Amino acid sequence: MSWSIRWKVAIGTLVAVACGLLIAGWMTVRSLEQRALTQFGETLEAKAKLVEYGFLALFHSSTPAVTLSRLQDIARDLGIRSSARITLIASDGTVLADNAVRDVDIPTLENHASRPEVSQALATGQGQDVRPSHTTGERTMYHARLLRVPHDRAPWVVRVALPLAQVDRLSDELKRQLLLAIGVAFLLTVTLSIWLAHSITKPLSEIASAAQALSTGNSTMRIRTTAQDEVGLLASTLNQMADQLHTKIEELSEDRAQLLAVLTSMVEGVMVLDARGHVLQINPALERMFGISRVDARGRPCAELFRHQRLNNLVTTILQARTPHEDEIVLPLSGRHLHIEASPAGGERDNEACIVLVFHDVTDVRRLEKIRKDFVANVSHELRTPLTSIKGYVEALLDGGKDDPSVAGRFLNIILKQSDRLNLIIEDLLELSKIESGQISLKEEPIDVRALVDRTLSTIKPIADRKIHRLVTALDPSLPLIAGDDDRLVQVLTNLLDNAIKYTPEGGTITLGAASAPSPYTSDPTPNAIDLFVADTGIGIPEKDRPRVFERFYRVDKARSRDLGGTGLGLAIVKHLVEGHGGQVWVEANHPQGSRFVVRLPIKGGKRSLAQWNQDNIV
Ligand code: ADP
């Protein structure tokens, strides 16, 4: 059991005061008793002197002869006068007279020589003793004096005795009074000590509960005290400490909130590890990148959490070297590329920030880099093919071919064809480049689909006729106006029809149609888009190639495309323009034969800046 300071102080004070009172009382009683006894002894001695004087009168010449009965009479007389018991004892201890004993019993009294006061008186002239009386049984004080008998007779001893009952009564009374006084003093002390303990411990209790509140995080608590003593000093020191703590906590909270805001809003993933490589902190971006939760991650070893060899190696290296390092990893499941910058943070102990790793998602950058590399390689390849051919035929002409007019004519025709092809590629590349750099801005005007179809067909018909194709239109009777760029949509349809003509053997059927459709971007089934489609009865596109035909320079059959004068850029341009209108384009199989290209455009238009679109969707 633990006692509060209040009780310790109260009980301690009480015990100390009680002990003090008891000791003082006991000493007082003893000293007063002693004093009373001394006074009693002195009175007895005075009485003994008077009694001695009374007996000495016996020996004057005028007095009758000394007999035992006369001694007894004098003893009785002196006893009445002095209110004491008087005993006269011969020097051999025989009792000669005693006023407390009947005359007849005197001879039967035992010898008194061994009584301490008697033997003392015989030896020194006087003696004193306190003991219970043989005769009365009461506690009695005896005082004996040597009585020098004249005529060279042996001295007698005169003894005066008084019971100490009076002194004992006085002492008992004294003890009672003192006990009462001690009791009252004790009660007063109880009250006083409780008040004292309360007044001392009250501010201490307040300080204790304030300190407790402080320890539970309530840094706003303050102790109110008017005390000017050490307790007051302690309280004001504690208040100052709480003030400082409060300020520090607020500063830390602000710092923490700012840090958390920064960490939370960062696009980059951040992870903080301690000196053992255990995770201390990760931010939401990192949670998303690795599909883990902060709660699960905290405190776990990085190696166990991510199980990524390259990341582990990086962490191990920086833990050992304590110098900044960087690396790039690829996540096995998502295939995302993460560039990691790891820097030492200085902490050496467990739970102290030792390394900070910042993860940048560079997947898009790497994808763009690859696309650009592939594009450059493709462009070089596409340009080199006609150039090599032109160079070859020019050399052949120079080597003598020019001298043979029929060979020269044939070679020059080939050179012309290859130059046209080169020109076509460069034109298409320039067109794509214009679209990508945002130089082409799409208009958003109301377009009558029927007029759009007619306009396209009039430009494409001569080319279709050359291959004896049948051009068919399939238009819904009630088509709404759509918002878009008339010229660019003609370009889209012309490209698709041009392909259909190219990749359909002579005598095929090419259908250009339009129908209402649901929006490409909402789940609302009400038709708020238009599907424009170009279907042919040509060679078709294998299913695996369909998603890729919109990539730059992707061709299902390279040789056939080249023979037919294709550049591999037509569908890429189509895709850019359609998506620039907020639409979609895809290809599917046409039944029973051929391909069917569908362009879905929102009726209200959904024009996006082509430069913006290009940033998001470079293919
Ligand atoms: P190209 O100039 O080679 O035609 P495109 O970008 O227009 O380039 O087309 C890409 C490839 O898609 C073509 O090389 C061809 O293999 C295929 N393709 C396009 N349209 C059709 C079609 N109507 N029928 C069959 N294949 C087609």
pLDDT tens-place string over residues 434-479:
887 777 888 889 999 999 999 999 999 999 999 999 999 999 988 8
Ligand 1 centre distance from Cα of residue 440 (Å):
24
pLDDT band at 54 (very low <50, low <70, confident <90, very high): confident
User: Measured between alpha carbons, how far is 309 from 273 in angstroms, rounded to an integer?
Assistant: 17
**What is the DSSP code string of 315-384?**
HHHHHHH-S-EEEEEE-TTT--EEEEEEEE----STTS--EEEEEEE-HHHHHHHHHHHHHHHHHHHHHH
pLDDT band at 608 (very low <50, low <70, confident <90, very high): low
pLDDT of residue 618: 46
Ligand 1 centre distance from Cα of residue 375 (Å):
18
Which class does domain 5-170 fall in? alpha beta
Mean pLDDT of the chain: 87
Mean pLDDT to the nearest integer, 48-73: 79
Distances (CA, A) of 82 to 49, 51, 104, 162, 361: 11, 8, 23, 10, 127
What is the distance, to the nearest Å, from the Cα of residue 9 to the centroid of all Cα atoms in its chain? 40
Closest ligand 1 atom to Cα of 569: 6
For a pLDDT cut of 90, what percent of the chain falls above it?
Answer: 43
pLDDT of residue 326: 92
pLDDT reading at 524 higher than 80: no
Distances (CA, A) of 169 to 22, 222, 233: 21, 63, 57
Mean pLDDT to the nearest integer, 520-533: 75
Ligand 1 centre distance from Cα of residue 555 (Å):
6
Closest ligand 1 atom to Cα of 572: 6
Listed residue (417, 427, 431) closest to 564, CA to CA:
417
- 431 near 488, Cβ under 8 Å? no
Label residues 517-547 b or e (16+ Cβ within 10 Å = b): bebbeeeeeeebbbbbbbbbbbbbbeeeebe
User: Which residue type sits at 38?
Assistant: T
Distances (CA, A) of 238 to 141, 197, 231, 366: 70, 22, 10, 60
**Lowest mean pLDDT, pick from 218-222, 403-407, 449-453, 567-571:** 218-222
Q: What topology does CATH give the domain 445-616?
A: Heat Shock Protein 90 (3.30.565)
What are 517's strand-pairing partners? Answer: 529
pLDDT of residue 613: 47
- 499 near 491, Cβ under 8 Å? no
Closest ligand 1 atom to Cα of 573: 6
Closest ligand 1 atom to Cα of 568: 8
Task: Give 390-421 pLDDT, tens digit per residue.
Answer: 999 999 999 888 888 888 899 999 999 889 98
pLDDT reading at 277 higher than 80: yes
Task: Give 149-202 pLDDT, tens digit per residue.
Answer: 776 678 899 999 998 887 888 888 888 988 898 889 888 888 888 888 888 777
**Lowest mean pLDDT, pick from 121-135, 381-395, 517-531:** 517-531
Q: DSSP secondary-structure letter at 237?
A: H
pLDDT of residue 255: 92
Ligand 1 centre distance from Cα of residue 412 (Å):
28
Mean pLDDT to the nearest integer, 8-12: 82
Ligand 1 centre distance from Cα of residue 405 (Å):
37
Closest ligand 1 atom to Cα of 428: 2
3-state secondary structure 572-596: HHHHHHHHHCCCEEEEEECCCCCEE
What is the distance, to the nearest Å, from the Cα of residue 206 to the centroid of all Cα atoms in its chain? 28
* Ligand 1 neighbours (beta carbon < 6 A): 499-500, 503, 536, 538-541, 549, 555-557, 561, 566-572, 595
Q: DSSP secondary-structure letter at 114?
A: T
Residue with CA at minimum distance from ligand 1 atom 8: 568
What is the distance, to the nearest Å, from the Cα of residue 309 to the centroid of all Cα atoms in its chain? 31
Q: What topology does CATH give the domain 266-361?
A: Beta-Lactamase (3.30.450)
Q: Where do the structural domains in the chain lie, given as residue ranges?
A: 5-170, 226-265, 266-361, 369-437, 445-616
Residue with CA at minimum distance from ligand 1 atom 14: 555
Q: DSSP secondary-structure letter at 546?
A: G
Mean pLDDT to the nearest integer, 125-147: 88
Phi, psi of 20 (to 5 degrees): -60, -45
User: Measured between alpha carbons, how far is 538 from 380 in angstroms, rounded to an integer?
Assistant: 30
pLDDT reading at 243 higher than 80: yes
User: Measured between alpha carbons, how far is 198 from 15 in angstroms, rounded to an integer?
Assistant: 17
- 364 near 334, Cβ under 8 Å? no
User: Measured between alpha carbons, how far is 280 from 271 in angstroms, rounded to an integer?
Assistant: 8
Global pTM reads: 0.53
What are 438's strand-pairing partners? Answer: none
Pairing of strands 139-147, 126-132: antiparallel
Which of 423, 549, 585 best tests ligand 1's pocket when mutated (most atoms within 8 Å of CB)? 549
Residue with CA at minimum distance from ligand 1 atom 2: 566
Length of the chain: 619
What are 163's strand-pairing partners? Answer: 140
| CATH of segment(s) 369-437 | 1.10.287.130
Which of 375, 496, 503 best tests ligand 1's pocket when mutated (most atoms within 8 Å of CB)? 503
Which of 469, 493, 556 best tests ligand 1's pocket when mutated (most atoms within 8 Å of CB)? 556
Fold agreement (369-437, 445-616): no
pLDDT of residue 619: 44
Which of 499, 533, 556 best tests ligand 1's pocket when mutated (most atoms within 8 Å of CB)? 499
pLDDT of residue 60: 67
Ligand 1 centre distance from Cα of residue 590 (Å):
15
